[in-house]
Amino acid sequence: MENNFRDFAINTIDELGLSDYEVAKLTGIKSSSISRWRTGKTTPRKNSLRHLAQLAGRQIKISKTDSGLSVDWVAEGQDTLVPYIPLQNIRQTVKVYTWTQAGSKDFFRRNGSISQKPVHALKGIPDIEDPLAYSIIIDEERNALIDPYTRYGDVMIMSPAASVKNGDHVVARLVDGRVISRKIQFSDDNLFFTRHAGGAADFSVKAQAVSFYHKVVYIRKR
């Protein structure tokens, strides 16, 4: 079965203007794997394509064709890729926003960055190696979209630069404006969200219905 995964991956890396080493550091993909893609020895897996798409700040769709599988960008009205800010080993004070702010229409920009001012700053948290990291405090007692592992008063720290794989806890922004906190699972062009790792999905959407998802890298319990 043929696919365009290799060409798509290489073109994405080249258009981002990053070295193979930088891509490996940002996504968790082995640099040796990228080298094998370039020489044609191997073909990227679907999960690697998703990591590259996350790095580019865009969504992909994988569809079946007569000859095999094809991957392409989901149309977002953007003609060019926006280079991602490389990770830096820095100490920073992560700003805290509330869940209700995160649910407001203009809290997140189209690319997933935040447009509003934080409520306050966290102190004494582990070092987060992502200059775009942010946090949200749960300020709702009952919300069906919040994983029950977190509760009122908990603070979730998100890293937009962290690569996301099956079973990771994420905060996702849906196209319709809803914000969801769940474990994520990928299956072709579908995203499944579960309350617990390994549990049955209680919420699912097409990839095109998700604006972005950011990995939860740390939770400060109330």
Q: What is the CATH number of the domain that holds 158?
A: 2.10.109.10
pLDDT in tens, 86-134: 444 334 567 889 988 888 888 887 767 788 888 887 776 666 667 778 8
The boundaries of the domain holding residue 56 are: 2-73
Question: From CA 45, how far away is CA 171, in angstroms rounded?
Answer: 24
Residues 6+ apart with CB under 8 A from 176: 209
Same-domain status, 114 and 172: yes
Same-domain status, 64 and 101: no
CB atoms within 10 A of CB 105: 6
User: Can you give the pTM of this predicted structure?
Assistant: 0.62
Same-domain status, 152 and 202: yes
pLDDT in tens, 18-67: 788 778 877 778 888 999 999 999 999 988 898 888 888 788 888 888 87
Same-domain status, 111 and 216: yes
Same-domain status, 130 and 177: yes
Question: From CA 155, how far away is CA 218, in angstroms rounded?
Answer: 8
Same-domain status, 67 and 106: no
Does residue 168 form part of some domain?
yes
CATH number at 67 reads 1.10.260.40
Same-domain status, 41 and 146: no
